[in-house]
């Protein structure tokens, strides 16, 4: 997936995204997950076609920024609508699984699904939390998650999330 194709799919998803695009689960988060995913994939062997589409689609069908049970499966249905003609059946199966199951607190030994989930979880500091170590799927994801927020963002070439909540704590402390 080229950057132009990424931008085109992102623009198409904007049309029916009901939340603020710069909100906790909007376009800014999608781009950050893409960045983390691309960097992780250099070492995990993940399928970038799947990882980049996951970044855009995994939270694209949320109804709110709080608990939104089922948003992953809704995102997986949207992925099928937008990507079935562009991906192989195997790639589509991985994208479906990554989107549908990302909210369930699982890990995966599959390098592509694990990379998708780690990329999403590495951007958790936007919610005032640090990654929950037991939910990291890849060795590199675990290494990056152990970094403090500043170093993790520096590793990814990202800026701190504006309006970050006070107090950073591990996800497991919630």
Three-state DSSP class for residue 130: strand
Q: Which residues pair with residue 170 across a beta bridge?
A: 130
Average pLDDT over residues 123-131: 84
Quote the CA–CA distance of 124 and 134 in Å, as a whole number.
Answer: 14
More confident residue, 116 or 126: 116
Number of independent structural domains in the chain: 1
Domain containing residue 112: 3-173
Q: Phi, psi at residue 39, to the nearest 5°?
A: -70, -45
CATH of the domain at 65: 1.10.3210.10
Q: Is the pLDDT of residue 142 over 90?
A: yes
Quote the CA–CA distance of 3 and 11 in Å, as a whole number.
Answer: 12
Quote the CA–CA distance of 63 and 141 in Å, as a whole number.
Answer: 28
Contact 21, 27 (CB under 8 A): yes
Reported pTM: 0.89
Please name the residues in contact with 119: beta carbons below 8 A apart, sequence gap of 6 or more: 33, 34, 36, 37, 40, 51, 54, 55, 141
Quote the CA–CA distance of 71 and 103 in Å, as a whole number.
Answer: 8
Q: Phi, psi at residue 74, to the nearest 5°?
A: -60, -40
Q: Which residues pair with residue 130 across a beta bridge?
A: 170
Mind listing the pLDDT tens digit for each residue in 11-55?
Answer: 998 888 888 888 888 889 999 999 999 999 999 999 999 999 999
């Amino acid at each position: 997936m080229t950057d132009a194709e990424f931008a085109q799919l992102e623009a198409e998803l904007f049309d029916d995204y009901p939340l603020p695009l710069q909100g906790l689960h909007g376009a800014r988060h999608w781009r950050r997950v893409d960045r983390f995913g691309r960097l992780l994939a250099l070492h995990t062997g993940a399928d970038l076609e799947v990882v980049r589409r996951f970044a855009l689609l995994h939270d694209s069908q949320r109804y709110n920024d709080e608990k939104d049970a089922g948003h992953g499966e809704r995102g997986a249905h949207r992925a099928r609508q937008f990507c079935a003609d562009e991906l192989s059946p195997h790639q589509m199966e991985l994208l479906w699984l990554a989107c549908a199951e990302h909210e369930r607190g699982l890990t995966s030994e599959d390098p592509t699904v694990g990379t998708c989930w780690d990329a999403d979880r590495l951007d958790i500091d936007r919610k005032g939390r640090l990654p929950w170590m037991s939910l990291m799927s890849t060795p590199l994801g675990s290494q990056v998650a152990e970094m403090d927020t500043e170093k993790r963002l520096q590793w990814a070439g990202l800026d701190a999330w504006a309006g970050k909540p006070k107090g950073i704590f591990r996800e497991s402390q919630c």
